[in-house]
Each structure stands twice: as structure tokens, then as C-alpha cells.
Amino acid sequence: MGALVSFFGRLFGAEQKREEERFLRANDRAFNLTFNYADNSIKTSKYNIFTFLPLNLFEQLQRLANVYFCFLFILQLIPQVSSLSWFTTAVPLTLVLGITAVKDAADDINRHKNDKQVNNREVDVLLNGDVKKEKWKSVKVGDIIRLENNEFVTADLLLLSSSEPLNLVYVETAELDGETNLKVRQALTVTGELADNFEALTAFNGEKNLIYCVCTVCTMRFSGFLVLTGEVRCEPPNNRLDKFKGTLTFNGQSYSLDNDKVLLRGCTLRNTEWCYGLVIFGGADTKLMQNSGKSTFKRTSIDHLMNVLVLCIFGFLASMCTVMAIGNAIWETREGSSFFAFLPYEPGTTAQLSSFLSFWSYVIVLNTVVPISLYVSVEIIRLGNSFFIDWDRKMYYPKSDTPAQARTTTLNEELGQIKYIFSDKTGTLTQNIMTFNKCSINGRNYGELFDFSGQRVEITEKTERVDFSWNKLADPKFIFHDHSLVETVKEGSLEAQAFFRLLAVCHTVMPEEKNPGDLYYQAQSPDEGALVTAARNFGFVFLSRTPETITVVEMGRHVTYELIAVLDFNNIRKRMSVIVRSPEGKTTLYCKGADTIIYERLHPSCKKLMEVTTQHLNEYAGDGLRTLILAYKDLDENYMEDWKRRHHEVSVAMDGREEGLDQLYEEIEKDLMLLGASAVEDKLQDGVPQTIEQLAKADIKIWVLTGDKQETAENIGYSCNMLREEMKDIFIVAANTPEGVRQELENARRKMCPDAPDVPVVDKSRAGLFWLQTKCSVPDEQVDGQYGLIINGHSLAFALEKDLRLELLRTACMCQTVICCRVTPLQKAQVVQLVKKYKQTVTLAIGDGANDVSMIKAAHIGVGISGQEGMQAVLSSDFSFAQFRYLQRLLLVHGRWSYLRMCKFLQYFFYKNFTFTFVHFWYAFFCGFSAQTVYDEWFITIYNLVYTALPVLGLSLFDQDVNDRWSFQHPQLYVPGQMNHYFSKKIFVRCMMHSCYSSLVLFFVPWATMVDTVRDDGKDIADYQSFALLAQTCLMMVVNFQLCLDTHYWTASNQFFVWGSLSAYFAISFTMYSNGMFLIFTSAFPFIGTARNSLNQPNVWLTILLTTLLCILPVVAIRFLLLQLRPTINDKVRYKVRKEVLPAPAPRRPPPRRISTRRSGYAFSHSQGYGELVTSKWVLLKRKSRPALFTKTTDSPLAQNQPQLYRTITEENEEAQHV
């Protein structure tokens, strides 16, 4: 009944209140339906079979030109007004609307297929005490569903129970954030007791003990089973992926719910046999869909300019028609009476009425200034250029069999005008893969190779690798090239062995040994996994752990350490320590962390070693590596016993626990002995630094918007060459108050530009179709030198407020590089919208996860990275490919060519049509302003559709100023597109002036040469039909030769289209003006014999030649002078292409050593709390049945045998029994 009420409420427009709080009962669909919550189906399609025709037609009629053409068609149906047949407009209009409708229908059919595929997935739902299969679209809010290993999460769920100890589940969030390392979620203990008890879960419905609050789970034990009642109260649907607020009340006690208790749609369950969840948000209300953002119809800047130009053309057309109407009134008054004898007026017709009708007649005659074929051609050009992107083998990624894809066909030329790129980091710039790259042990640097002359050798895939076959437990996928480190370890170096012993015991990694020697590691952060794997390969294999012990195989010998304490990592401490006791009874503290933190706690005797290690750290930081300092300390047993006692007292204290633990950690982590430093590479995607360098040369600014920590994002900035040591300064904005953020932004701005005004300059102008909108822009301010800006998410939240956002924009735009850390999906979109609004430039957003979708949709162009990280960003993008490096080809080649081709097309198209139309204007002064046409009616009909269609399409599809290699060699060629140099209002006026001159020549030269001319046989040649044929033949010659001048790149297709067009013109003319056509269709083809009688006269061909020369030679002369006096960057590069051979690629050399002297290379993506988790006895408990970690059929990147992706453990039987 609730569903019926909900349906009719929506059907008859019942007011829907904004949801402020979500209330729901478990297993009570009737109750939950009264709130009209969204079901779990999704809908991304726009039409259905009934709404397609009216909606699509309505959308197409929102284009001003289509409304205009419909109006013309109606005018042509009025005999008193139209001098042209109705089909001259009806046929092309039907073609335009039909082609667009078919394209829209095809796109929407694909959306329907995708929706159907997702909505028809099946999931287990608990109904009436039993688990039944239901389609995703049938799942409702309040249902309890069962998920199994490797299944997608159906909706946003409150986790109730799981098969794992401590009610843990492991989820892969690649679809949400692009990160492939597993995340841990944990249910509350009170709901975990439900386990997989169907009776208890079914009774979880609130019918017996109703309380109006949320997630109330009241449990009472009767007859050995649970009788449960449950209701939920939580926040309304929102797009915050990292936050959730709700309440669980049990027996009068409240338990808070946070993000760790929730499974989000888009995640995949991993390494968990089963779990149960309560549906909180479904379908459009899920955080995944909320982050999809509002789909907007994106239009290019040329589209917006075209609308303005079309409006101006309408005004110009109206003025021309007004002139013609006034001329008709004057002519009818003065001269019209002379023609009454053979052209009498119809009854009631006056000069004024004739003038009025003449106005509308000329609206029809001169309508070719905005031809319908313009929009058909634009769509074909965009479609063709989209196919070129799809077919580009140089943007195909063979490893994942992923081609580039243009998912929209309306934005190609916009790719040639990008000024700002907003990029995600993880999965977009990086592969989310960590590799142990270098290390410094006891003052010696390992990991680099040198030749006999002492020169550093670049490491490539062909470089010889270290052979770890001596270590039976080594990871075969681990790669290292410096043989000296293995030799040092084998020789028994105490420092090297202590270094790797520290890496093997100081961590929170969980191992699993499925078969002897077949080890898998599950690390909370990929950094830790890389370090433990490195220790494993160098002979210190982390084998297993219990809450009290850690077992390591040290150079083939099993050693079990007693784990006394784990001093966990957090973002303030920036370090982690473990205290272990060896079998010999020696107690040692091992510590790893940031250099700035560890150095303060070193023993004074380490000063000299610290200086050498610091030099190595600077080199690592210069290479963009993530570094950690490793140190240890031997502990006295008596002191240790006292410290353990105090530690226990503080741990159980109710007040001041955190402060007390911090003091104890500070006390024991002093006078450490330095071992060395590790350097881990957050592996970039191939070609990322080179791509960023190329785009920077094209004057494109790149901003990185990431959810990672500041240290990690800064480190990647240096790796990508976005941040460089030679920058004058790199500003960090991290204040926690609005005033603090303002002060930091102003200080940075004043340092970069001391003379800049304190108040931002905002230029306002009118914009929009009818100039009804106000456009605000903040001009760029010049700075001396290059700067960088790094801003944290909490500071960015203040900076995006209304009174600070312009200060943020000014400061950020002065910088060469901007990196925003710890940002939410909403903040990403807000940053993009801020730049869009006030810089009036074209923006592009690129990402790979669901957290990037709102940014991708907010930008002018959205690009999705497809591959292992998920497809959510791709589904919302305009273009997609598999690797970031393909972005430079998309922009510098396809984007630039598309923009150049579109601009050439528009210039030429307006030229040929204004020239065509202006001839009518001059002819009006010779035909009494009677709206008689110069050309044959059939020529008017097919001029744009047949005669001139293919040549201009050939130009617009195949032309290129230089080839792709020269485009990469000179990325500066991209800059004119950013500045609208190829097509603008100014260039449009030039086209009109050029057309005006050409039309004067095309009308008056043939008129002057024929007015008193006779044929060879003495007969008069100056009849209307002969003049019409001569004028249209001259027009065809001129516009085709003009196109030849505009073509830079000739292909067989261009040649065929140009000469084929002229051949088709003459063939069709001779056919239509033949005796046979006249005899069959007498009224339709009145120009009988005109072609053969006129084109056999020499003076006609001389007139054609003279007219063509007079139109073309001035263009050639002006272009020659401009080439000599003011050559453009395109002219210079084309000249270079003719004179020079493209230089061969430079031989690969190792990049120059960059040494950082002012920053730490520390970056560690670890989270607090895992120390407590891994020392809990419950986490190591072995269940009776445990699923395979990953099935062979899974397509998850976590199961693709990659060394940096680590998996959770199953302990030995005796360990489980011990626990």
C-alpha cells in the first residue's frame, strides 16, 4: 500500500520535503515505503519509447537555428510570400532533425543497456525467514542482504555481522577512490552477535517493541534464541564518501555509527566468506550515485559563440530584408506602374503591402546566410574526429586491451583549447604500486648502478636483476638491480642484517602461508608491504605472528621474537615502533619514521652517520622517492619491566589515556641508534613526467586534487616534475581558521607579486544568447619566477567560502603548480567550478574513481582513466583511455587538429554562404527588389547539400598544419587555440568582408561582361537563365579554389572531393538543363538548353577565369604579405618542416641527479589503529571454513599476481588453538 501511495504522490506532484534525517526499520518494507525512499534501481537514460519523440524534438528546438528553420518552412508554405518551393527547406530540415534524433537514440539505447545490466544483477535477500535471490532493482531500504566473497556491494549497507573474527570484513574500494589496497570495516559487537542466525535476523524488524529512533537494536534472549527489534536513524543521503553519522540504540544505550561500520555501493567484498548488511541508502541515494553529480549538457565554446553569431546574423538578415523592403516600396511607387500591363497587382495589393510581403520573401531568399547544412556538417565533422580518437593505435594500451574512446561526439574541438587540467593522483598519475628502490645502510648507498668510469647507469627493463634463487622464500616478483646489497647481507654485515631485521618485525602486516614457501602479505598500506617484501627477499622473511610473538626466518634460521609492545603510528607521531625480545633474551626497540622526527631522538654518537644519511635522503627526495629513517635501541630489562607496568596502568586509565601513552612513547623513543634509510617509489604510470612537461610547454596549468596526505601528494609532485627545486618558493597553506588561511594566502601572493592590489580586480561583462547574463572574470597577474602551492583539505574548505575564494583563485593562478591534499569529492568539483566561473577558460578534469566523478562532470571536458581501478569515472566521462600519458596525444594532436579543422570549416562555410547570399542582395537592385533569385531553384537546393558538402568535409576531417610528430616537437602550437586565434567574432567579421568583396566580383564582373555581349552567331547571350548559369558557375569555381588555398594537407580524398564536386556540378547542370528533363518535368526544370548554349562560348569561360582570378589573387597577396611581415607560430613551424628533417629522438640517458636541500622525502600512507588490531587475539582466530582469498575468475587487480598487493593471513592450526 505504501508503494502505491508513493507512486500516486509522485504522479500527481505531491510536494517532496527535503530529507533531514533517515528513519527505517529492518525487514519492514511497508513502514519504510511510507517515506518514499528511493529503491535500488538506477536510471541514467533520458528517454523511453513514449517520451523520445516529443522530448528529443523539444530539445532540438531549443537550438535557435532549428526554430528559425521551422519558421522558414512555414513561410514557404505561403504562396504570396515564398519565391522558393517548400522542399528547399523541408528536405534539409528533416535530414538535420532525423540525424540528430538517430544519434541521440543510439546513445540512450546504450544507457538503457547499461542500466538494465546493473539493475538485473542478483543478490541474496533475507525474506520471511529465508534467503532468496532478488534482483538489485527489487531491493528496498530496510532489507537485510547477504553478501559473499568477491561480490559487489548492492547498496549502502550498515554492516551487521560477518564470518571474520571481530566482525571484520575486507573491501576493495577501487570503484570509489581508485585505490586497490584493501580496506577494513568492522561491525558493532551487539550486531555481530546476530552472526548468520536466520531467526534472529528475521526478527530484526521492530514490530514487537516500537521506539521512534534510529538503528535501535533491542535484543532479549528467550528459549535460546534472540528476539530482536530494529530501527535506524542516520544522516540523509549525501556525497561524502569518508563520513557517516548514525546511532544504534540497544537496551536504552546508544552506540554511534561511523564510516567504518558502513559498506558502500561500488565496493567489492574480498577475503570474507559472508556478511550481512542492512540497506540504508539505495539506488540514486547511495553515495556512489550521489557522487555522480548532475549530468549537464556540455557545449563547446564554439557552440556558445555560434549561438551569438547566429543571433547577429539574424539581425543582419533582418536589416538586409528591411533595406530590400524599403527598396521595393520605392521601386513600386516610382517604377511599378510601368509593369501593370503585363504584371498586374492582385486585387487589394498596394505598394505598402508589396513591401511587407517582399520583406518576408527576402527572409526566405537570403536564409542561406545560416544554412541548415551547417549543423549537419558540424555533427559529421565531430563524429569523424571522434572516430579518429577511437581508431588511434598510439592511444591503445595492449596490457589491458583498452583503446581510447570518445564517449561523446560534441566536444572534440574543445580539446584544442584547454588551459587548466585538474588531475587526481592515485590511479591517475600513479599505479598505486610501491617498489623498494634504494636504501642507505650505515652510510653506504645501495640501489644505484655505475659503469667503469663511475658514471651512473640508467636502470631499464633490460638491466640485469639480482638473483634471489638462494632464498627459497623470496618473492619471485621482487625486482632489484644492485648486487652489492645482497653480497653485504650474505657477508654477515651486522648493520645490514639489523636493517632488514627491523623491516621484518616493525610493521602491522599480516602473512598467510598457503603452501610451504608460498607467502602472501596483507598490508594496510602498500608502503609497508613493499618494505616487508624487500626484507623477505634479502633473507629476513616475516613468516607469522600471534598477539605475543613474531616469527621471522633470518638467513634460513627460524627466529621467534616475543612481541612486548607496538607503539602505533599516527599523523602526529609520524613514526612507529615495536619492542621485541629475542630468543637470547635481548630486548630491543625498533623504530621507523620521518627523518625530521627520528633525527631529534637519535643518540649524539650518530651525528657523523646522520650527515651522510642526510645526503642520501636529499638524493632520494630529489628523485621523488618516499623515505623512512630506521633506528633501534637496546633496552635494559629492569627499565623495561618498570615501563611495562606504567604502560599497563595508563592503558586501562579512564582519563588522560592518550596523553599518558604519548608521554611514555616519548620517554622510551630516545637515544636511538641510526641504522639507515629506506626509499620506496610510488610508481608513476609510464610517461607521466614527460607528459606533464609537454603540457606545461603548451601553457597548460595542471592542478592535482587528491585525497592523500600532504607528504604523499608533495612527494608525487616532485616525482612528476610538477614541483621542482629550482622554484623560487613552494607555499603550504595549512591553517585551521579562516583568518589563518587568509593570512597565508595573502602572504604568498604578496611575495609573488608585491605590487598587486589587495582587492581582487573582477571584470564584468554581458554574455549569453541575448546578453542577459553577467560574466565575471579575474585577470591573470604577472609574477617573476615559478612558484608552487600546496593546500590542505581543511584549509581549502575555508578558502572556498564566499569571502576567500577570490583570494584563493588569485594566489593559485599565480603559481605554476597547485596541489590540493585531503580534498573531498565535493571540494574537487568546487575548485573546478571556481576556475570555470572566474577565469573564463576551458578546463579538463581527469580521474579514475567514483570520487572523481563530480569533478569530471563539473569540468568542460571530463576524462576517465580506464583499467584496473574501476569504471565509475569512465562511465561519467567524455573521453577515456588507459594511461595518463595518452593525454598529451589527445590534446596536442587530436584536440588541436579538431579545433583547427572546426575553425577552418566555419570560416570557409560562412565565406561560401555569405558569398552565395550577397549576390542575391546585389541582384535585388536590378530586379526591382522583387525577391527573384539569381540562381536556378535546384542549384539553391543542392548547393550546400551536394555541390559544396564533400570538399569542405574533406578539409574538416583530414586537414592538418603539421603532422603528429611535429606537434609533439613544438607543443607551443597549442597556445593559439587557448586564445581563440583561429575563430572569433573578429575573424567572423573578416569572413563577411571577404564574402562581400567576392560577391561584388561574382555579380558585377559577369554582369558587365554579358550585358552587351552577343554569341558567335550574333544572337543575344544576356538572358536571365544564361546569366544565372554563369554566376553560379563562377561561384563554384571561386569557392572551390578558395578551399584549395585553405588546405594544408592534401590526401586522395581531398582531391577526389574537390574535383569530383566540380565534375558533379557540370554533370548535374547538363542533365537538369537537358531536353529530356524538360519534357518529363516541364515546370520543375525550365532552364532547357541553357548549359550547352552558354558553356560553348569562349567569352563565358574567359569571364569565369577573370572572376576567379579577381577573387583569389588578393587573398594570395594578403597571405604572402602576412607570412613575410607577421608570421604565426604555425607559419614558422611549417617553414621549418619544409626546410628541416624532424630530429631523431635523443638517446636515452639517465636523468640528471636532483638533490633536494629543503624538504623531507618522508611519506607513509599508514593509518592509526592497526597496531591494536594485529595484537588482538581474535583477529588471528581461524574459522572452520575459510574461502579462497581470490577465486581464479576474479578480475580484480588484487588477484593479478602483482607483488605490491598484499593479502590477509590464515594462521597455523597450532597458533589458532593457542589463541
The residues annotated with a catalytic role in the active site are 424
The helix (run of H) or strand (run of E) holding residue 549 is strand 549-554
Question: 3-state SS of the chain: helix, strand, coil percent to 5?
Answer: 45, 20, 35
* Nearest by Cα to 865 from 429, 434, 390, 1201: 429
Do the bridges between strand 842-847 and strand 418-423 make them parallel or antiparallel, or are there none, so unpaired? parallel
Residues 78-87: contacts with CB within 8 Å, 24+ apart?
Answer: 78/360, 80/357, 81/357, 81/360, 81/361, 81/364, 82/361, 82/364, 83/361, 83/364, 83/365, 83/931, 83/932, 83/933, 84/364, 84/365, 84/933, 84/937, 84/940, 85/937, 85/941, 87/941
Chain centre to alpha carbon of residue 905: 28
Residue 967 dihedral angles phi and psi, to the nearest 5°: -65, -40
Q: Is 477 exposed, middle or buried (0-12, 13-18, 19+ CB in 10 A)?
A: exposed
Q: What is the 3-state secondary structure (H, E, C) of 1126-1156?
A: CCCHHHHHHHHHHHCCCCCCCCCCCCCCCCC
How many angstroms separate the CA atoms of 315 and 308, rounded? 11
Half-sphere exposure of 206 (CA within 13 A, CB side): 24
- Locate 172 and state its grid cell: 576493495
Do the bridges between strand 444-446 and strand 430-441 make them parallel or antiparallel, or are there none, so unpaired? antiparallel
* Nearest by Cα to 681 from 1163, 105, 46: 1163
Q: What is the 3-state secondary structure (H, E, C) of 224-275?
A: CEEEEEEEEEECCCCCCCCCCCEEEEECCEEEEECHHHEECCCCEEECCCEE
CA 1039, 1045, 1048, 1051 dihedral sign is: positive
Residue 575 dihedral angles phi and psi, to the nearest 5°: -160, 160
Residue 729 dihedral angles phi and psi, to the nearest 5°: -165, 155
* Nearest by Cα to 427 from 843, 819, 868, 879: 868
The helix (run of H) or strand (run of E) holding residue 560 is strand 557-567
CA 1025, 1031, 1034, 1040 dihedral sign is: negative
In eight-state DSSP terms, residue 981 is -
The helix (run of H) or strand (run of E) holding residue 216 is strand 216-222
How many angstroms separate the CA atoms of 11 and 55, rounded? 18
Chain centre to alpha carbon of residue 429: 12
How many angstroms separate the CA atoms of 168 and 166, rounded? 5
Q: Are 1150 and 458 in contact (CB under 8 A)?
A: yes
- Locate 246 and state its grid cell: 548514525
Q: Are 819 and 722 in contact (CB under 8 A)?
A: yes
How many angstroms separate the CA atoms of 1018 and 1011, rounded? 14
Residue 757 dihedral angles phi and psi, to the nearest 5°: -65, 150
CB contact burial 261-296 (16+ within 10 A = b; e otherwise): bbbbbbbbbbbbbbbbbbbbbbbbbbbbbbbbbeee
CA 742, 747, 750, 753 dihedral sign is: negative
* Nearest by Cα to 427 from 848, 713, 712: 848
E strands in 324-459: 405-406, 418-423, 430-441, 444-446, 449-450, 456-457
In eight-state DSSP terms, residue 337 is G
